[in-house]
Structure 1
Amino acid sequence: MRNRIVMGSMHTGLEDSAEDVDALTAFLGERARGGAGLLVTGGFSPDRTGRLTPRGAQATPKLLAEHSRVTDAVHEAGGRIVLQLLHAGRYAFHPLAAAPSGGRSPITPFRARPLTRLGISRTIRAFARSAAAAADASYDGVEIMGSEGYLLNQFLAPRTNRRRDRYGRDAEGRRAVPLAIAHAVREALGPDRLLTYRISLLDLVEDGQTWDEVLALAAALEAIGVDVLSTGIGWHEARVPTIATSVPRGAFTDVTARLRAAVGVPVVASNRLHDPLLAEDVVARGDADLVSMARPLLADPELPHKLAEGRAAEVVPCIACNQACLDRVFVGERASCVVNPRAGHETDPALALVPASALQRRRVAVVGAGPAGLEAAISAARRGFVVTLFEAGEDIGGQFRYAARIPGKEDYAGAISSWRTRLLTHGVGVRLGTRPSADDLSGFDDVIVATGVRPRTLDLPGFDPAAERPAGSPQVVAYTDLLEGTAEAGDRVAVVGAGGIGVDVAEFLTAPSPSLALDTAAWKERWGVADPALSRGGVRPTAATETAPAPVAPSGRQVHILQRKDTKIGAGLGRTTGWVHRAELRHAGVIEHRGVVYERIDAEGLHVLEDGEARTLAVDTVVVCAGQVSERGLAEDLADLPNGPRVHVIGGADVAAELDAERAIRQAVETVAGM
């Protein structure tokens, strides 16, 4: 390998069909050209039973015969690539699901049947056949997925292996199937191709593996001829977050270091290693031999080259939001990336930033330096246009500046820092503290209006923050003022609105200081992560769950969160992160009110109807998070200019129904690509 960076396995939705092989080739080829040393594909099942979905990826000889295009593209770019073999077990989302023991997982509606001994033998042979087919397609090797709660991990844990035969009576029996598969795959690959095994270091579920069992498995895999142990953390059903932005960076490298000290083959560290400086430190300390970066290479396929060239400040950082990658995959859609809409769509001409010729060079003004405006300005400069970015405030970032103040979302500040560097690198003229008029912009060829949104006010008695109110009435503030620091909240607070912003504000008001995302020990205590040598599965028996979070000291504030809808709080949050936020609110003692009707604010407090009954919340601060309104007055003024510039309205200025950075950034790139 040319470096120690592994692009970890990510299912993108491009693996499932031969029709998408060209798109998969473009996706992986771009990461190889960006400098990743070793690439791991998304998971391919060895048989129909193990598919993730009814039409999910399966490593059939017919499909893999098309993959020579994939491997050729990676090899031509100087990279190496292995195919991941993944049997879903009881996580399969179809009626053919099979597992060590019968039963249904918490994340699928289908009940898995128990594998018979004949079924186990067939599964072992299927892994071997798939490995041989991967070799025929010129893959450099195979990775066996033995982590994250999939089939092989299910065999290893008493939680899911209740067999009484030789495949489940004790720890040695539970290891039998994973070891038999590793042996069969090693034989099928021959001695010259790479065999990696994704090993679960912390199952993070009760009745998972002990540390001694993990080490015994690792030693046996090494003896069989596994070349690399790639570490995995947590099952998909675990009630402990492992890759969300609120997880401390490098939270699990301590157990990775313990594994590396016990084995004689290279070990790959994973999970929350987005920061290149941290990744470098992990290798330098000897905690791991290689570092897996999956989502960071979605965000920036050129990350390795930028590091090698001393351009780390230009890396487009992953903000670990999961919004466009994991959340998309879990509903059967193609994965992409909030900060890089081309990810997974490399062949889409609507996102291609083709350099403009000298005759096509245009003078472009971008108004508004939120995510949409920033991406539009950089994209236009990359095409060769002369770009000036105007921002009314004294700093760039827009809504990302507010997000970066939320405990657990510190990574958003890194995105702003990257935009700042890239504006300079690409020669964008930046005018802060400037609110141009339509006349000021008349000399430009194109004006991209990205002026964003303003908070919506409620037309109800007492809700206007600027209006005078009786003495003793609660202070009314917009969420923007609270997060800007121009307003403060008291000890009794009502948060009006329970969408993404309302939940963020409630966490801002109740989270401990310093943020748990910056204190690994405190974060582990909060979520019940334990020493796997002392607690099976690496969790305390009473570890945090969505219904019973682990106790820590409360913030001292009494916070109410209210919404008009009768759905659960934060219902619109992402599938992979929403439960984390709801658990945090419950832990902090936030009082939830659903299906309310707002009436008025007066000296007695906030008056609402809840379940048809009148209630008064005696609070001293009301924070309004009741949606946004587009700021598009400039676009209307520009439309009135005779022979004025072409006007493009993007981001929140275009649609403010719900803040959506993914849509805003994609719209910015599409707009510039079409100019």
Structure 2
Amino acid sequence: MTEMLFTPKSIGSVTIPNRTVFLAHETGFAENGLPTERDAAYYRARARGGVGLIVGPSSMLVHPSASNPMYASGYDPEVVPRLRTIADACHEYGTKVFAQLQHTGGEDSGEFAMHETWAPSAVPTDFGYEMPKRMEIEDIEEIKLGFAKTAEHVKRGGLDGIELKAGHDGILRQFISPKYNHRDDRYGGSTENRVRLVNEVVEAIRNRVGEEFPIGIRFTLDEMEDGGYDYDYAVDVLRHLHPSLDFLDSDIATISKLYITDAPMHAPLGYTSEYYGAARAELDVPVIAAGRINDMTKANDLLEEGQADFIGMCRQLICDADTVRKVRAGDDDEVTHCIACNQNCLGGIHTKGHVGCIQTPRSGRETKIPHVEDLEDAPTAKRILVVGGGPAGLSFAVTAADFGHRVTIREREAVLGGQSNIATEVDSRQEFGDAVRNLRNQLNNRDVTVETGVEVTPADVDREAWDEIVVATGARERPPPLEGENVYRSWDVLRGDDVGERVIVLDNNNHAAGVGVAEQLAVEGHDVTFVTTAYHPGDRMEGTNVPPFLESLYEHDVELLTHTTIVGFDGDTAQLLNVYSQDVEPRAADALVVAERRESRNGLAAALRDRFDDDSVHRIGDCVAPRLIDTAIYDGEMLARELST
């Protein structure tokens, strides 16, 4: 039941049409310090998807001393018409929009603007390496004025309210924190003094926008750093905050602990509920819950239990912009649930330059990839054979069916899923399988023929029976560089091959495969040594995924040998080579498990192309070149769109 989730509730003078909130986050779309058409399209998609409140643009900077190319310069008057575009796009669907205001303080780099960073005290953060400048009183006055001017720009831009960021990063939290604020003037020493800047910022903003314009705060309820404040201190802060604040948006940890603030799938759903639930009991203003909430029934339960007043979702609505609309219409099986892989949301900012989602090619590309609902059916319904039921094949089949094609999938294994089924053999990565489950659920709602346990050979394909043939046969793990007795491929071990007690895992993959099989073996009770030439295990994974793996490996007493490879294994002894010192050390082991890179299974596609000698045969996903799951899903959807024009 989700009845309460869809009831209106007010924040200050503004009525939010339902209890769902799209939380603030980087998009990577800003250009020259201003929001762009891509921002407007991105937020518009979530408004169209039914969310009640959008907090964005995120981290609008209030002063030039905070410089980050990812963020809009809210202090620049040129931002006003850009904000108006965002407001109009969201208001079209009844969604309210609050801008988030921030000064990054010492938790940033001044290199972009060639300017020193500012902070309450000259205390370095665990996130960066620069020593910030201790702010002088005139600097503090400058920042207060910057917040006020930016707030005025927000109101002139037609947005509905403001969120001040004192969350996992930002100068407002740094002033609040005893770890970062060592001042002995009116802005330091006591809780009242440390909160003073926040309260003076609120007053400065009120003088510009009035008492009726909603102002709230995103606040970290526990810094979770050595020397940082805990929840009890946060409660004391809450009691000292300005009485005119209209809401609290809950946050935990700091940017140096991003694997906690934006926890990957190692963390359970709703992992922060004890924090916002406790804060809710302390406050008379609405509290926004946050922390891996991707299920609307659970979200409604949190409201019913009184743990929160609004449900904040970030990655779930990055993943599926239409989540709220689908659930409200009873189409729960159509929801693409976030799996917290962090590969294209957080990771996409650094690898692609913009936010995205591995499961949803359109996310972050709204100006380039139209919503399927806005497109007409294909001019001709084609008969299409898809060979391979992994992520690429499933993505193609779902999208092609949406365009009206008659699709048949043939998969050689007994179940759909491809390589994702291997990944889920690692206990901590089982949720990764939800990416395939989401596609299977959607497939079940479409008229697609699925044949499993069918091995397709070139002779099995009748050219006259199909208009198009899509080969999505994936990849296999490459053979280990060392052969012989007691040498195993990581995939075979995850599928059940029995290995002895003492196991060496050689990671030539450097992504999740190596750390995953090592963790699983350790959890099962093996004595594991992990060997990699990299600087740390899993060094090609998205960053927030690495610390939970490291914590688990250390917890299970896995020996970690970096800068190391194996140059020989005779069945019971490995020769370990340090790639920098060139020293060789023998190590006894009952088995060597090698996590290798992959190679394409492209023989069927090549044979069909030779046989038919036309352009009816297409390859997608790893059988073109082994990559990550996002490209497989992208390949599938984009080919389906291409064949439908």
TM-score relative to the length of structure 2: 0.90
Identify the residue that residue 560 of structure 2 maps to in structure 1. 592
Deviation at 1:593, TM superposition (A): 3.2
Task: Note the 1:590-629 alignment, pairs <5 A.
Answer: 590-610=558-578, 611-629=581-599
Alignment partner of 2:55 out of 40, 51, 55: 40
Whole-angstrom distance in 2 between the partners of 1:6 and 1:503: 35
Identify the residue that residue 637 of structure 1 maps to in structure 2. 607
Q: For structure 1, which segment, 434-443 or 370-379, has the greater mean C-alpha deviation from structure 2 after superposition?
A: 434-443
Q: Is 1:652 aligned with 2:622?
A: yes
Deviation by residue 1:496-548 (Cα, 9 ceiling, x = unmatched): 2252201111111223xxxxxxxxxxxxxxxxxxxxxxxxxxxxxxxxxxxxx
Identify the residue that residue 491 of structure 2 maps to in structure 1. 480
Identify the residue that residue 246 of structure 2 maps to in structure 1. 227
Task: Note the 1:213-252 alignment, pairs <5 A.
Answer: 213-221=233-241, 223=243, 225-238=244-257, 241-242=260-261, 243-252=263-272
Cα distance, 1:119–1:292 mapped onto 2, change above 3 Å: same
Question: Contact (CA 8 Å) 2:34, 2:79: kept in 1 or not?
Answer: no
Whole-angstrom distance in 2 between the partners of 1:439 and 1:599: 43
SS at match of 2:428: coil
Alignment partner of 1:139 out of 156, 159, 162: 159
Deviation at 1:413, TM superposition (A): 3.0
Identify the residue that residue 519 of structure 2 maps to in structure 1. 507
Q: Is 1:492 aligned with 2:502?
A: yes
Alignment partner of 1:5 out of 16, 20, 29: 20
Alignment partner of 1:559 out of 528, 538, 548: 528
Q: Is 1:452 aligned with 2:474?
A: yes
Identify the residue that residue 76 of structure 1 maps to in structure 2. 92
Task: Note the 1:151-230 alignment, pairs <5 A.
Answer: 151-221=171-241, 223=243, 225-230=244-249
The amino acid across from 1:32 in the alignment is A
Deviation by residue 1:269-294 (Cα, 9 ceiling, x = unmatched): 11122233322221121111111100
Deviation at 1:349, TM superposition (A): 4.5
Q: For structure 1, which segment, 613-622 or 628-637, has the greater mean C-alpha deviation from structure 2 after superposition?
A: 613-622
Deviation at 1:649, TM superposition (A): 1.4
Deviation at 1:597, TM superposition (A): 4.9
Deviation at 1:428, TM superposition (A): 1.9
Whole-angstrom distance in 2 between the partners of 1:53 and 1:33: 28
Alignment partner of 1:130 out of 150, 157, 178: 150
Identify the residue that residue 313 of structure 2 maps to in structure 1. 293
Whole-angstrom distance in 1 between the partners of 2:70 and 2:49: 33
Identify the residue that residue 536 of structure 2 maps to in structure 1. 568
Whole-angstrom distance in 2 between the partners of 1:6 and 1:350: 24
Whole-angstrom distance in 2 between the partners of 1:351 and 1:477: 45
Whole-angstrom distance in 2 between the partners of 1:358 and 1:201: 52
Q: For structure 1, which segment, 590-599 or 271-280, has the greater mean C-alpha deviation from structure 2 after superposition?
A: 590-599
Q: For structure 1, which segment, 178-187 or 297-306, has the greater mean C-alpha deviation from structure 2 after superposition?
A: 178-187
Deviation by residue 1:113-154 (Cα, 9 ceiling, x = unmatched): 121111111111111111111111110111111110311110
Residue identity over aligned pairs, in percent, reads 27
Deviation at 1:608, TM superposition (A): 4.3
Alignment partner of 2:78 out of 62, 69, 72: 62
The amino acid across from 2:616 in the alignment is R
Count the aligned residue pairs.
616
Question: Contact (CA 8 Å) 1:247, 1:408: kept in 2 or not?
Answer: no
Q: For structure 1, which segment, 629-638 or 422-431, has the greater mean C-alpha deviation from structure 2 after superposition?
A: 422-431
SS at match of 1:408: helix
Deviation at 1:56, TM superposition (A): 5.2
Question: Contact (CA 8 Å) 2:33, 2:73: kept in 1 or not?
Answer: no
Deviation at 1:298, TM superposition (A): 0.6
Question: Contact (CA 8 Å) 1:353, 1:383: kept in 2 or not?
Answer: no
Question: Contact (CA 8 Å) 2:537, 2:546: kept in 1 or not?
Answer: no
Task: Note the 1:368-383 alignment, pairs <5 A.
Answer: 368-383=388-403
Cα distance, 1:332–1:98 mapped onto 2, change above 3 Å: farther
Cα distance, 1:332–1:55 mapped onto 2, change above 3 Å: farther
Identify the residue that residue 13 of structure 2 maps to in structure 1. none
SS at match of 1:288: coil
Deviation at 1:361, TM superposition (A): 2.0
Whole-angstrom distance in 2 between the partners of 1:489 and 1:311: 45
Q: Is 1:102 aligned with 2:122?
A: yes
SS at match of 1:25: helix
Cα distance, 1:180–1:163 mapped onto 2, change above 3 Å: same
SS at match of 2:617: strand
Deviation at 1:404, TM superposition (A): 2.4
Whole-angstrom distance in 2 between the partners of 1:493 and 1:133: 61
Identify the residue that residue 44 of structure 2 maps to in structure 1. 29
Question: Contact (CA 8 Å) 1:406, 1:504: kept in 2 or not?
Answer: yes
Task: Note the 1:350-389 alignment, pairs <5 A.
Answer: 355=375, 357=377, 359-389=379-409
Cα distance, 1:660–1:567 mapped onto 2, change above 3 Å: same
The amino acid across from 1:372 in the alignment is A
Alignment partner of 1:661 out of 622, 625, 629: 629
Deviation at 1:316, TM superposition (A): 0.5
SS at match of 2:551: helix
Deviation at 1:191, TM superposition (A): 3.0
SS at match of 1:622: strand
Whole-angstrom distance in 2 between the partners of 1:176 and 1:330: 35
Cα distance, 1:220–1:331 mapped onto 2, change above 3 Å: farther
Task: Note the 1:257-336 alignment, pairs <5 A.
Answer: 257-330=277-350, 333-336=353-356
Cα distance, 1:127–1:20 mapped onto 2, change above 3 Å: closer
Cα distance, 1:190–1:162 mapped onto 2, change above 3 Å: same
Deviation at 1:603, TM superposition (A): 4.1
Deviation at 1:210, TM superposition (A): 4.3
Deviation by residue 1:442-463 (Cα, 9 ceiling, x = unmatched): 222222211111111135440x
Question: Contact (CA 8 Å) 2:571, 2:591: kept in 1 or not?
Answer: no
Q: Is 1:434 aligned with 2:454?
A: yes
* Alignment root-mean-square deviation, CA: 2.3
> Relative contact order: is structure 1 or structure 2 higher (C-alpha 8 Å, sep ≥ 6)?
1
SS at match of 1:231: strand
Question: Contact (CA 8 Å) 1:250, 1:271: kept in 2 or not?
Answer: yes
Cα distance, 1:304–1:587 mapped onto 2, change above 3 Å: same
Q: For structure 1, which segment, 14-23 or 375-384, has the greater mean C-alpha deviation from structure 2 after superposition?
A: 14-23
Whole-angstrom distance in 1 between the partners of 2:187 and 2:567: 64
Deviation at 1:3, TM superposition (A): 1.7
Deviation at 1:332, TM superposition (A): 8.0
Whole-angstrom distance in 2 between the partners of 1:402 and 1:185: 54
Question: Contact (CA 8 Å) 2:224, 2:230: kept in 1 or not?
Answer: no
The amino acid across from 2:489 in the alignment is A
Question: Contact (CA 8 Å) 1:394, 1:433: kept in 2 or not?
Answer: yes
Cα distance, 1:358–1:123 mapped onto 2, change above 3 Å: closer
Whole-angstrom distance in 2 between the partners of 1:628 and 1:437: 22
Deviation at 1:53, TM superposition (A): 4.0
Whole-angstrom distance in 1 between the partners of 2:351 and 2:202: 31
The amino acid across from 2:514 in the alignment is G
Task: Note the 1:388-403 alignment, pairs <5 A.
Answer: 388-403=408-423
Deviation at 1:579, TM superposition (A): 3.2
SS at match of 2:241: helix
Deviation at 1:363, TM superposition (A): 1.8
